Chains A and B, each alone.
Chain A
Amino acid sequence: DAGVIQSPRHEVTEMGQEVTLRCKPISGHNSLFWYRQTMMRGLELLIYFNNNVPIDDSGMPEDRFSAKMPNASFSTLKIQPSEPRDSAVYFCASTQQGDYGYTFGSGTRLTVV
């Protein structure tokens, strides 16, 4: 099992550009979560999906952020337009619904300059 796969590992972009982060969850897991890690706030939940359906997006900071899960094996988190304050490490995690032992990906370190 390759685990949760995120791409890219690092992304450096200019302010105003569109950024797309990608995640492939573990096969068979039906819950997927996007988290953002910052020094000040630690790990913040942005959005999560059950069976490809968005359940709670109350953590998405602004309309500039959007997330999709078109099928059980792929999800994207898009920021358009990006701003320097979006710089953080973004993690994707997956699990079987009801199991709190999430498996996290290695994260995408986003730097917006």
Chain B
Amino acid sequence: DQQVKQNSPSLSVQEGRISILNCDYTNSMFDYFLWYKKYPAEGPTFLISISSIKDKNEDGRFTVFLNKSAKHLSLHIVPSQPGDSAVYFCAASYGNKLVFGAGTILRVKS
């Protein structure tokens, strides 16, 4: 039972353009949402988060949008840079634990 779904296994974007990564969830009890970034041979690192009471959170080039009625969130990266190439995991929390999606591989071409 995949409570957090990332339906796009991969995404390829040109340097300087916008990258949009999407995530859907099924559990309405989730109260906090996060994005993690993972480089090869490293553990995931925290990128940005949003509380369920908000619909947008911005941090530099990264913005997360939450649509609670659609149970959907997205991560926008503008402008995209080659160093952004990584696997991006969407995560949602309830209680003290995070439930992760399967990840989306982002490739930013220079």
CB within 8 Å for A4 and B43 given contacts A43-B89, A100-B34: yes
* CB <8 Å contact, A106 and B97: no
Pick from A33, A48, A56, A106: contact of B42, CB under 8 Å: A106
CA distance A23 to B93 in the complex (A): 23
* CB <8 Å contact, A98 and B43: no
Contacts of A44 in B (CB 8 A): 100
Residue B22 CB within 8 A of the other chain: no
Q: Interface residues of A toward B: which range?
A: 20 to 34
CB within 8 Å for A35 and B100 given contacts A43-B89, A100-B34: yes
CB within 8 Å for A45 and B97 given contacts A100-B32, A100-B34: yes
Q: How far is the CB of B46 from chain A (nearest CB, A)?
A: 4
* CB <8 Å contact, B44 and A91: yes
Q: How far is the CB of B87 from chain A (nearest CB, A)?
A: 9
Contacts of A35 in B (CB 8 A): 100
Q: How far is the CB of A99 from chain B (nearest CB, A)?
A: 9
Interface residues of A in 70-113 (CB under 8 A from B): 91, 93, 97-98, 100-107
* CB <8 Å contact, B89 and A56: no
* CB <8 Å contact, B93 and A100: yes
* CB <8 Å contact, A31 and B46: no
Can you spell out 18 A-B residue pairs with CB atoms less than 8 angstroms apart? A33-B97, A35-B100, A41-B2, A41-B102, A42-B89, A42-B101, A42-B102, A42-B103, A45-B97, A45-B98, A50-B96, A91-B43, A93-B43, A100-B32, A101-B49, A102-B46, A106-B42, A107-B43
| Chain B residues packing against A (C-beta within 8 Å) | 2, 6, 32, 34, 41-46, 49, 89, 91, 93, 95-103
A44-B100, A100-B49 provided; 10 other pairs, C-beta below 8 A? Answer: A33-B98, A42-B100, A42-B101, A43-B44, A91-B43, A98-B96, A100-B34, A104-B43, A105-B43, A107-B43
